Amino acid sequence: MIVVMRNGATEAQIKDVCSMIESCGLEVHLSQGKERTIIGLVGDTRKVQEDRVKSYAGVNEILRVVKPYKLANRVFQPEDTVIEVDGVKIGGNNFTLMAGPCAIESREQLFRAAEEVKKSGAKVLRGSAYKPRTSPYSFQGLGEEGLKLLAEAKQKFGLVVETEVMDTRQVDLVAKYVDIVRVGTRNMQNFDLLKEVGKLNKPVILKRGMSATIKEWLMAAEYIMSEGNKEVILCERGIRTFETETRNSLDMCSIPMIKQLSHLPIIVDPSHSTGKRELVKPMSLASLAAGAHGLIIEVHPCPQEALCDGNQSLTPEMFEDIMVMIRKMAPLMDMVL
């Protein structure tokens, strides 16, 4: 950590900052430039409250050198994290397909989707029983009934199942029924929820917040990991920008950036990030080419009857069409389906 003093900071101000830093058990390296004085901190700077330093008189800014996340940091674990659930591997050189309806609507809908996506090669069945909806007047999900249908589908089709958890009070219930829990984009910084899923013994898909920086996203993963749960799967789902032609802007660069900064697996949601069915195929292939560890795609047996997000859901035929290409491209990328 480096403290840049204001132009014109007094000797006394500089001394105050140095004393405070030393009182935290760190060493100080002072460097007096022509225009500015710079104070370097040596030691584990994660102990120092950045805000506190900034509040000292004469301090201009703080420059961070060391990343604030530790457990999620590739520096401290160079090899990829590979998560295994019921024989399905996520991370490393595995390319894992997760697919299914946005919301679980009925046994028939979920089972038809499960059958189709399984046939095309998906390993994980997605489906939400609790739905975060912008409007209080929209369909909010089937709740526990939906969870039961997921557990049934798991038995019947031999798929790993995942679903979203939105509220700390639901965590235990949800975990009872599914293999993987998902924290949605609007809850990426719902810290109480992160702590609760951090106590689970199940993998967590952590979607990137709509306007979360990569650093904040990894700090959210750190929250989960610091509670003991090391099985975090990051999911890029598009960020909010000024562009309105697509629902969000899929930040494709985040894939190689995350792989450089962290050892955690990263998958992509091409359905929510684009909001347009016809963009799902090109974005799926691009994600594989960019180095992602998998995809989570919305597939609905009959998108026109979907109770939510029908316009971005694929038909089973469209999903199979993508899979045809993925089967050809994965070996080129040294990825195992």
Q: Which of residues 80-99 bind a copy of itself (CB under 8 A)?
A: none
* Token pair in block for residue 179: 């293999």
Q: For the sheet containing 59-63, what is the strand order? A: 27-32, 37-42, 2-5, 59-63
Name the segment binding a copy of itself (CB under 8 A); options: 110-118, 175-183, 184-192, 199-207: 184-192
Binding to a copy of itself by residue 206, rule CB under 8 A?
Answer: no
Nearer to a copy of itself, 92 or 291 (CB): 291
The footprint of a copy of itself on residues 100-119 (CB under 8 A) is none
The residue from 119, 156, 199, 215 that contacts a copy of itself (CB under 8 A) is 215
Q: What are phi and psi of 18, to 5 degrees?
A: -60, -45
Nearer to a copy of itself, 25 or 158 (CB): 25
Give me the least distance between CB of 198 and a copy of itself, in Å please.
9
Check if the beta carbon of residue 3 is closer than 8 Å to that of residue 41.
yes
Binding to a copy of itself by residue 199, rule CB under 8 A?
Answer: no
* Token pair in block for residue 88: 């399905």
Residues 275 and 280: their CA atoms lie apart, in Å, by 9
* Token pair in block for residue 114: 């499960």
Binding to a copy of itself by residue 334, rule CB under 8 A?
Answer: no
Q: What does the DSSP assignment read for 144-160?
A: HHHHHHHHHHHHHH--E
Nearer to a copy of itself, 178 or 224 (CB): 224
The number of angstroms, rounded, from the C-alpha of 4 to the middle of its chain's C-alpha atoms is 33
N-to-C CA span, the chain: 43
Binding to a copy of itself by residue 278, rule CB under 8 A?
Answer: yes
Binding to a copy of itself by residue 186, rule CB under 8 A?
Answer: yes
Q: What does the DSSP assignment read for 9-27?
A: --HHHHHHHHHHHHHTT-E
Residues binding a copy of itself: what is the number (CB under 8 A)?
103
Binding to a copy of itself by residue 132, rule CB under 8 A?
Answer: yes
The footprint of a copy of itself on residues 148-177 (CB under 8 A) is 166-169
Binding to a copy of itself by residue 133, rule CB under 8 A?
Answer: yes
Name the segment binding a copy of itself (CB under 8 A); options: 56-64, 82-90, 92-100, 155-163: 56-64
The residue from 18, 189, 318, 320 that contacts a copy of itself (CB under 8 A) is 189
Check if the beta carbon of residue 234 is closer than 8 Å to that of residue 208.
yes
Q: What does the DSSP assignment read for 159-214?
A: -EEEEE--SGGGHHHHHHH-SEEEE-GGGTT-HHHHHHHHTSSS-EEEEPPTT--H
The footprint of a copy of itself on residues 281-310 (CB under 8 A) is 282-283, 285-291, 303-310
The footprint of a copy of itself on residues 224-253 (CB under 8 A) is 226, 239-246, 249-253
Residues 85 and 53: their CA atoms lie apart, in Å, by 44
Binding to a copy of itself by residue 210, rule CB under 8 A?
Answer: yes
The residue from 87, 137, 155, 201 that contacts a copy of itself (CB under 8 A) is 137
The residue from 24, 279, 318, 337 that contacts a copy of itself (CB under 8 A) is 279
- The one-character DSSP state at 245 is S
Give me the least distance between CB of 16 and a copy of itself, in Å please.
8
